[in-house]
Amino acid sequence: MPAKKKSVKVLRCPTCGMLVRPTDEDFPFCTDRCRKIDLGKWAMGVYKISSLILDPEVLEDLAGRRQ
């Protein structure tokens, strides 16, 4: 019976799409430049993590601003 080959997953830099390896220094990015571009997008608010606001004080403050 032949030995099974391991499937290799192709990973790409989220900024430029270049191929990267999990062992690369800047993984998951291909370079430090791409890492900094991504960080800049987070800092400018391009990327957001949305979630429900559950803090009652924050909800009251938001409701007060709408009126």
pLDDT digit string, tens, across residues 51-62: 776 777 877 777
Closest CA to 47 of 15, 24, 10: 15
For 11-66, which CATH superfamily applies? Erythroid Transcription Factor GATA-1, subunit A (3.30.50.10)
Distance CA 34, CA 21 (A): 15
Q: Is the pLDDT of residue 64 over 90?
A: no
- Counting residues of the chain whose pLDDT is more than 70, the rounded percentage is 85
Q: Can you give the residue ranges of every domain in the chain?
A: 11-66
The pTM of this model reads 0.60
**Is pLDDT larger for residue 62 or for residue 15?**
15
Residues in CB range of 62: below 8 A, 6 or more apart: 53
Q: Is the pLDDT of residue 19 over 80?
A: yes
